[in-house]
Structure formats: structure tokens, C-alpha cells
Amino acid sequence: MTLPPASLAIPVAFLFGSIPTGLLIGRAKGIDIRAHGSGNIGATNVGRVLGKPYFFLCFACDFLKSFVPVLLCGWLLGQLGRFDIPSPDSWVWLAAMLAAVLGNVFNPWLGFKGGKGVATSIGALMGVFPVLALPGLTAFIVWFCVFKARRYVSLASIAAGAALPLAAVAQGAVVSRNNGAFDQSALLRALPFIGICAFLAALVVWTHRANIRRLRDGTEPKAGSPSPARA
């Protein structure tokens, strides 16, 4: 069986996702970010150690390294801008999306240790346009609102993860209504996208398990506070 050209986007997405942007930013500043703060290479630790501008730089790079290859995959499939995506194409697109996130979280160049996958997940979601762009935007809005209210990056990330599959279900319900009638085939096409959102939500919670313990114990630092010591 000949694989479609778009399937090449899957390993490309993994390689892009595995670019250790936080580590590279730290080295450009003369430090190994893994030896400072919490030891994580994600935007939160980079920002705490190097300053707020570097948080935004790392977040943007982690966003783009998944957004670009995932969007490219959709373009190669010819499915950008469509909701009625055939099942074979949807699985290829979702595989590229998942590959980018897993490359970030389980970085092969760093002993399969990487970031926590928040910025990369948002970029990957926005790359599946438009099917997962709205749920991804919803999750980002939840992140922003929770962060502004509580000043905990980790809590905002967990809340955004929890909101993601709910937003995907809501969108699937809306798309499945055709002139007021229920369209079962549209719902079936939406199920893989809902499932991947549920998986990403679980992954975000899993990568924040240490933060959850600190939130429970009241030791989690707020934004602007020193990063917790490495476990």
C-alpha cells in the first residue's frame, strides 16, 4: 500500500516537536536551563529563570514548532478549512498532531524528557483548522482567565486541558446538527477529534502531576515567584 505524501508530515511533526527550544534559549544565554529552577525546559521555567520576555519567546517557539507541520499536513491532505473530513485523512492529520506533542513531551534528544506540552498542544490544535481550532482557542481563553484570576500557570494549564474535550464535544454536537436534524455521520467523523482532545487533556494533567501535589500542599509558586526546587 502506498502511503499518501501527507503521511510524511507525521515524522516531520515529531522532529519539529522535539526541538528543545527552552534548552536552546538557555544555552544562548549561557546556561543549561535544566540546572536551574524546576529543571523543566518549558516556557514557565524559562520565564522564571531568564525573565518574562523569554517566557513569551519560548512559548511562541513551542507553539510554532507544532503549528507549522500540522498545518502543512492539513494542506497536503487538502482538508484545510473543512469540517467534513474523510476518516483516512482525519487519522493522518491527527497522527501528525499527536506526533508533534509527543516529540515535545518525550524528547528523544534529552532522554525522552521534555516540556509539559501546553504550548505545543495549543499550536497543534490550531493547526487542525478549523476542526480543532475553536476548541484550542477555547482552551487558551480558559487558560488566560484562570491565570489572571489565580496567577498559577499550572492551574491554568490543567483547567485549559479539562476544558478542551468539553469544547470539542460541544462543537461536535453543533456540527452534527444539519438544518435542525441530527446527522449521525457528522458525529462519527467528529469522534476521533474528540478522542484526541481527551487524550491531550489527560497528557497535560499527567505532565503536571508534580504541580498538582504542590497545589494541594500549598507550595506551588505563583507567576513571578521563584521556581520550585527540582524534585
Work out the average pLDDT over 27-51.
94
d(CA 45, CA 38): 6
Q: What is the pLDDT of residue 1?
A: 46
State the residue for C-alpha cell 518549558.
42
Average pLDDT over residues 68-91: 92
What are the sequence ranges of the domains in the chain?
A: 5-217
Q: Is the separation of the CB atoms in 103 and 17 below 8 Å? A: yes
Residues contacting 75, CB < 8 A, separation 6+: none
Q: Which three cell numbers stand for residue 133?
A: 481550532
pLDDT in tens, 133-172: 999 999 999 999 999 999 999 999 999 999 999 999 999 8
Give the residue-averaged pLDDT of 103-124: 95
pLDDT at 223: 82
Confidence bin at 179 (pLDDT 50/70/90): low
pTM (2 d.p.)? 0.90
pLDDT reported for residue 175: 80
Q: Report the pLDDT averaged over residues 48-56.
A: 94
Cell of 110: 534529552
Mean pLDDT, the chain, rounded, equals 91
pLDDT at 51 over 90: yes
Alpha-carbon separation of residue 96 from 38, 68, 88, 199 (angstroms): 29, 11, 13, 14
pLDDT digits (tens, 9 = 90+) for 183-210: 777 778 889 999 999 999 999 999 999 9
Rg (the chain; Cα; Å): 18
Q: Grid coordinates representing 160?
A: 485549559
Range scoring the smallest mean pLDDT among 37-51, 95-109, 169-183, 196-210: 169-183
Q: What mean pLDDT is predicted for residues 104-117?
A: 95
Q: Is the pLDDT of residue 226 over 80?
A: no
pLDDT band with cut points at 50, 70 and 90 for residue 231 = very low
What mean pLDDT comes out for the span 29-55? 94
- For helices 209-217 and 153-175, angle between their N-to-C axes, nearest 10 degrees: 120
Given a cut of 90, whether residue 104 has pLDDT beyond it is yes
